[in-house]
Structure 1
């Protein structure tokens, strides 16, 4: 058993260092995303969702780097990744709207132009929408119209259309947003 550890001592050390760096980056990103969410007074669920996206990205890069430390041939890995991206690319092309909505959700998180409880009007000539934002999710937002209808509006259209903020969310006695 000792011979096994001595034979792979360099790879084990590199893996431990890589894991420590990945955990440090993950921790720093968590703090940054949490701070941005707090500054923008965003819903904690949105903050957790953005953290999951970045956590997935960091984990993927970490696995790639650690696999190189353990002697995976870069050419073979390149073939594997290019084949995987070809399959994933076809799948994403088939569901491009999902990808664009998730990307728009990330952009809306970091720019936080509006939040839950705000009253907005979407400047769309075909489907004008006005109401109170009840929820902001990864793919869409929920808007309660004056007639009581719950409208689901895709995030990518929020970036494409003009959005007028009619009023901001009201604060209750604790300083929290109330609808």
Structure 2
């Protein structure tokens, strides 16, 4: 039979954890949005980063709840190792997807280039000079001067040398 007195410590700790978790989520989301606004980053990129941070925080909260409620550590390790094994085997074949997501996060926070910039990708076999149209989780959409659209994986952007080509402005005489 469930007794409130018997589990009062766990219930109280769970309530505190949930409140701290909610406040922490709001604070982190606000910090990321402020960072994105000051860096003039696009909203959908900001929302993706917030989504990834929330997933990590949910995992940490679940682990904390497991510890608070006293689940046996042997059971936790068996469960986590089983899940990690299944995920590891499934994701081994999908390493490029994870690499692109991680690279997308790096590009978000380091923002070496922005949408609208013209870049030159220094690739020995296939050099590319194009304007950045969009930066997504997995890839960057580019458009060449000839109108060709290129989808370039994020992880290759971090591996290749890239030059940002300054915008060319026509010098005109000013008439009053």
TM-score, normalising length: structure 1: 0.88
Counterpart of 2:106?
A: 107
Q: Is 2:137 the partner of 1:138?
A: yes
Report the alpha carbon displacement of residue 43 of structure 1 after superposing the two structures with TM: 0.8
SS at match of 2:4: helix
Given the alignment of the two structures, is residue 57 of structure 1 paired with residue 56 of structure 2, yes or no? yes
1:128 and 2:119 equivalent?
Answer: no
Contact 1:37 1:43 in 2 (8 A): yes
Moved more, 150-159 or 67-76: 67-76
Aligned position for 1:157? 156
CA–CA distance in structure 2, aligned partners of residues 28 and 106 of structure 1: 19
Deviation (angstroms), 1:52: 0.3
Task: Give distance in 2, aligned partners of 1:113 and 1:16.
Answer: 42
Q: Tell me which residue corresponds to 1:25.
A: 24
Give me the CA root mean square deviation. Answer: 1.5
Which residue number corresponds to residue 174 of structure 2?
none
Give 1:6 deviation, angstroms. 2.8
The equivalent of 1:174 in structure 2 is none
- Whether the aligned pair in 2 keeps the contact of 1:36 and 1:110 (CA below 8 Å) is no
Q: Is there any run of 5+ residues in structure 2 with no aligned partner, and where?
A: 168-176
How many Å apart are 1:39 and its aligned residue? 2.0
Give the Cα separation in 1 of the matches to 2:143 and 2:166. Answer: 14
C-alpha deviations, 1:60-88, integer Å up to 9, x for none? 11011112212211111011101111111
TM-score normalized with structure 2 length: 0.90
2-side partners of 1:65 and 1:105: how far apart?
A: 29
| Structure-1 separation of matches of 2:38 and 2:113 | 13
CA distance in 1, matches of 2:90, 2:166: 40
Q: Residue 120 of structure 1 contacts residue 164 of structure 1 at CA under 8 Å; is this kept in 2? A: yes
Structure with max Cα Rg = 2
